[in-house]
Amino acid sequence: SSAYTVGPGDILNIIVWDHPELSLAGATQAASIEGGNVGTGYNVSADGRIQFPFAGAVKVAGLTELQIRNKLTSALSTYITEPQLTVQIRSYRNQRVYLSGEVNRPGLQNLDDIPMSLPEALNRAGGLTKEADRSSIVLNRQGQETRINLTRLIEQGLNPNRIMLKNGDMVRVNNRDRAKVFLLGEVIRPQSLVMNDGQLTLAQALGEAGGA
């Protein structure tokens, strides 16, 4: 995990202490993608800039809150003696992950200044459905797929919360129906059986088939 960096679409709240006219000048009323009112703020443009008094068009994309504060402080120091600034991200709208498959609320989730783990993302998506295969979760990061077996991780004493998501990640939870075994030959009831979170012993399979 690393500090959140600002990108296009984010909204910044910037205060220049003892200079309220600078804090309000040029600020626009904006709403988050959830529809809630986020008050006045500086919207980061598509090219990653904000328009700030005296400083002009300032490139903020790819910078943290601290880096933006230092950059604006340096720009304003030519016009204001020892400027004191507070910079906060008012609305996080740039960095996202996408969840699909067997979750109750698939779709986009915004990343904020608190790093998001895989279990937290699944929880925000309403949790797994009854048909979800906990042994078959696929993380796609920059075109590279990694298969994650939550059941196996927990059995081995590994904490799934150590799996941190990054901007652009795509998480797909597969259906249990994709993990089947087929019993054929000298069994009473030849059939296909769905594995339980990737697990099914031979004894269990033969029992379901009525024995050999």
pLDDT tens readout for residues 60-82:
999 999 999 999 999 999 999 99
Put simply, whether the predicted model's pTM sits higher than 0.85 gets the answer no
Q: Which of 96, 93, 110 is nearest to 9 (CA)?
A: 93
Q: How far apart are CA 115 and CA 106, in angstroms?
A: 20
Give pLDDT tens digits for 172-194.
999 887 666 666 666 666 666 66
Q: What is the number of other CB atoms lying within 10 angstroms of the CB of residue 94? A: 20
